[in-house]
Chain A
Amino acid sequence: MAQRRRPGRTLLGFFIGLAIAYGLVALAGTWTPTLGLDLQGGTRITLIAEGSPTEANLTEAAGIIDDRVNGSGVSEAEVTTQGSDFIVVEIPGQSRRDLVETVERQAQLRFRLVACTSLDNRCGPSGTPNQPEEPTPSDQPSGPVITPTPSAGTGGQTEDPTDPQTDGSANRAPASYGQQGGQRDGKNDGKQDGKQDGNRNGGDQEPTDSPTESPTGEPTEVPTVPEGDLGDPLIWIDSPDQASVAAFQAFECPPAGEAALVEDDPDRPLVTCDDQGVKYLLSTAMIEGTQLTGAEAGIPPQQVDWVVTLDFDGSGTETFTAISRALVDTGKQFAIVLDGQVISAPTMDGLITNGQAQISGNFNERTATSLATSLRYGSLPISFEPDPQVETVGPSLAGNQLAAGLLAGAVGLLLVMLYCLLYYRGLGLVVLASLAIAAAATYALVLLLSETANFTLSLPGIAGLIVAVGITADSFIVYFERIRDEMRDGKSMPVAVESGWARARNTCLAADAVSLLAALVLYIFATGVVKGFAFALGLSTLIDLVVFFWFTHPMVSWLAKFPFFSRGHRFSGLSAETLGIDSINLRGTVEGRA
């Protein structure tokens, strides 16, 4: 009897799951799905390229922007090029102005080391009149700090021998980045070591030395810094060449909040500012944005501020580890420069060897997510004129299309239900219930996904879901035909339900695996509408399996307890007459046993 009570329990579990899904929907608070561009219109951003980009560059930029706005691939935004220097981005939803920044950001990310800033005076007084002398939020002591992520922390501790904090290892640590430098510049290790150690020893007094050396003249040439002995940036930051220092002192930051216009050349030192108006003299680029393998926005555990977490590839990890070793606990900063602006200049608080860095700064959820998205899909080959045109566009499909499509779908579904009832009679009710449950589950998931993943429902999407009805119903048809075949072989209904299930299950798993495979591969490879479609296909296939396993089968098993079905009532769909046989086996049925 224990075996027989199980279907009820499975059904109960299934309904609880469904109820939880709807509970989540209620929490999210929206009861209508987000409609696609064709049904509800959206926001149109027209970007004008600066200069005269080649067609290939423009197309490539359009592709990258498409990736950015379509990140997870289900929002079905449209990106088109127009004329020779326009890119038009259309995003579903009337108020997506927040995406403008994500779309137009060039996203050239570089890691550079900080030689000096306008706050620490290591390169002499800057003489910038509008320079805030009081500590700003990005002032060194209270400024951003890079701490190893928990995994990095343990990594650092196990590698303790090479930790430059301890005296004994002080010699070894430089050797490791000396090696790094050797690879980059072809200098010999011994010389590097010596120089590095010397610098390290004198490092603490350095700020007081350098001002006397620095000339203060040379007006306003700008950020282009003459090439000196740039060598290893790790050495260079402790004694920047005169020309760079001069350029640093000559440079004036624009008022806080405005972007400084600088030319970001990775092979040259850079003088630039952050958004607080703090001026930086930076080394040549150590790590490029192309060496990133991933960027995520999030709040790390036990912290309150949003950060962007970066993952580097092999060579990036190597370089970053070397930087980390050199800077850890020295109070020296490195800077994360995005499109020529310093977005964060943290100190290194612990050794990071796993190639994971966090950018912290004045982020909130929106800016952190926007930056992570821009970084993830690479930098644009062109830049755009500021202040793109943003306007609202209406739906491209007439209002009657949606109504007509839904009506047609409803009529089609009604016909399907009638057919099932006529053909399967009592069992047809199970088909109807299963379809209704599948529809409810789909609706709940669509609502949840439009809330969490910007899933939007375009007309093809709606049609796709209606079509999925046929594919979902096929599972039940396969199953019921199996049950009937087993009963024709002389099995009683309760037995046929189980043996038919064992066979139908395998058939459906294999067939649905093909559908899932299609969905998965297309989702990974394709872009735009195809990606959205693949998502919908995968979703409906999964729901088909879930409903089939946890609703239809337990339901039929449960119904097998009723004499109406097991004794083959003429409206049950399992009578001898409907099966086309002379009599059905009644063994194992309720009255058969009694």
Chain B
Amino acid sequence: MGRFSRLGNDLYSGQKSIDFVGRRWLWYAVSGVVLLAAIAGLSIKGLDYGIEFTGGAEYRVSLPASSVTQDLADDVREAVADTGVEGATSPVVTTSGAEAILVQTEPLEGEDSQTVVDAILETTGASPDDLSQTELGASWGEQVAERALMGLIVFLVLVVLFIWAYFREWKMSVAALVALAHDVVITVGVYALSGFEVTPATVTGVLTILGFSLYDTVVVFDKVRENTHGGRESRRSYADAANLAVNQTLVRSINTSIVALLPVGAILYVGAVQLGSGSLKDLALALFVGMAAGVYSSVFIATPLLVHLKSNETAVKLADRRARSRKRAASDPYAGVPARVGGRAVTQTGQPAPPGVTSGPAPTRKTDRSREPSGKGRAAPRAHGPVAPSTASGRKQPSRQPRSKRGKK
């Protein structure tokens, strides 16, 4: 772990830095491609709604009391799922009292229905007379969806207000919402592409993502705010401060995603590969994709977008300019000091300057620097004319310290 820890320290101090903010167009492009794929999957393949949403057909097989067991129900479930009939890939099979087994599938017609009926009869050994079929309404009707949707809208409004109130920055609300939409669209798209059936468990999973995505974004934004707090005195530009914040929380983001995704991944593996049917895999897939997207979007989308949104603010622009000149000053602290050869100032070409020419900065630089604040944050006043040589002629002058400074080093 030593090297990873060293990396953690370097990321913290800024010695090593991944340019999340600067290369934002790259991340936008990556997300754009993934989003396009998700939307394409959604519009071409569409979501496969389960019985709970569409209603369906219910087959009831009456059997002798002794033969109705949970094992038989399990067998019937597998037999029906194995028929390969579309709409019956994940049937709901339950025992009903001690004398019947219920099989629920999506609405089936003609041959498909007959295939399923045959599978049921074959597995249970019942005669066709014992089987009855009824139509089943949706338990997740429009009303449920409507109320959930209303709750969702209220939640989003409240979250926008909360983030705004906590960070005092509505642009953070916007960035967090965009990241959230990004995560949800990707999750739903991947779900459509996987061809899994949408069940109430899926809805639960998508709702978890809402919470998780915002949670993760808030954690990263908290660090961004800490680093950019009081932007006027900040030594870094807003973009650099935000980038440093993301780098500093990177180790946390990696650790959190590992810790959160490990159990979900295990459930997904068992649910999809070993069991193959049931609501376990629906939930796990939605969660896995959504959480991964949630961590990704906090780092790669939300923060760059925030910096992007803020880049037009006056305070941020000024801080950027200060940071730029500070950086230049730091890279060559003596840039403004003329070189002297034999007591004479030289120009950059190395030729001794003609006598009487100022010892100030080179002409090209002079115009630049006068417009920008210098290293100490003050604008250098424009020179009124050539500076006359000092009458002291280079001799050491007596100095008078203020009283408070006397007698100290």
- Residue ranges of A at the interface with B (Cβ–Cβ < 8 Å): 38, 41, 44, 59, 62-63, 78-83, 86, 391-401, 404-405, 407-409, 411-413, 415-416, 419-420, 422-423, 459-460, 463-464, 466-467, 469-471, 473-474, 477-478, 481, 484-485, 488, 503, 506-507, 510-515, 517-519, 521-522, 524-530, 533-534, 537, 577-581
In the A-B complex, the 3 residue pairs with the smallest Cβ-Cβ separation, listed nearest first, are A470-B260, A525-B151, A412-B263
Check A517/B260 contact, CB under 8 A, given A411-B266, A488-B12, A580-B6.
Answer: no
Name 24 interchain pairs, CB-CB below 8 A, sorted by A.
A62-B141, A83-B134, A393-B94, A395-B70, A396-B94, A397-B278, A398-B275, A408-B267, A459-B201, A467-B287, A469-B263, A470-B291, A478-B219, A510-B222, A514-B218, A517-B162, A519-B211, A526-B151, A528-B144, A528-B200, A529-B204, A530-B151, A577-B5, A580-B8
B280 x A467 contact (CB < 8 A): no
Q: Which residues of B contact A (CB under 8 A)?
A: 1-2, 4-10, 12-13, 58, 70, 73-74, 77, 92-98, 102, 134-141, 143-144, 147-148, 150-152, 154-155, 158-159, 162-163, 166, 200-201, 203-205, 207-208, 210-212, 214-216, 218-219, 222-223, 226, 248-249, 251-252, 255-256, 258-267, 269-271, 274-275, 278-280, 283-284, 287, 291
Dominant secondary structure of chain A at its interface with chain B: helix
Q: How far is the CA of A463 from the CA of B74 in the complex (A)?
A: 21
Give bound CA distance, A395 to B135, whole Å: 21
Contacting pair B96 A473 (CB below 8 A): no
B134 engages A82 (CB within 8 Å): yes
Are B139 and A79 interface neighbours, CB within 8 A? yes
Residues of the B chain whose Cβ atoms lie less than 8 Å from the Cβ of A485: 12, 248
Which residue in A459, A477, A537, A577 is a CB contact (below 8 Å) of B255? A477
Residues A412 and B256 in contact in the complex (CB < 8 Å), given A83-B134, A460-B283, A514-B159: no
* Chain B residues closer than 8 Å to A471, beta-carbon distance: 212, 215, 260
Residues of A within 8 A of B261 (CB): 470
Partner of B135, one of A44, A82, A398: A82
- Whether A460 contacts B5 by the Cβ 8 Å rule is no
A343 to B182, CA, bound (A): 57
The CA-CA distance from A63 to B146 in the complex, in Å, is 12
Partner of B5, one of A420, A515, A537, A580: A580
Partner of A477, one of B137, B207, B223, B256: B256
B15 to chain A, nearest CB (A): 10
Q: Which residues in A have their C-beta under 8 angstroms from that of B93? A: 396
B259 engages A528 (CB within 8 Å): no
B275 to chain A: closest residue by CB = A404
Contact A488 B267, beta carbon cutoff 8 Å: no
Q: Is the CB of B280 within 8 A of A82?
A: no
Given A580-B9, A581-B9, the answer on whether A460 and B151 have CB atoms closer than 8 Å is: no
Q: Which A residues are in CB contact (< 8 Å) with B166?
A: 510, 513
Contact between B259 and A416, CB atoms less than 8 A apart: yes
A419 x B134 contact (CB < 8 A): no
What is the chain A residue whose CB lies nearest that of B98? A392
Report chain B residues within 8 Å CB of A460.
200-201, 204-205, 279, 283
Task: Tell me the complex Cα distance, A463–B286, Å.
Answer: 12
Residues from chain A with Cβ under 8 Å of B2 in the complex? 577-578, 580
**Please, which residue of chain A has its CB at the minimum distance from the CB of B3?**
A580
Identify which of A400, A467, A473, A533 gathers the most chain B CB atoms within 10 Å of its CB: A467
Kindly identify which residue among B163, B252, B271 contacts A408, using a CB–CB cutoff of 8 Å.
B271
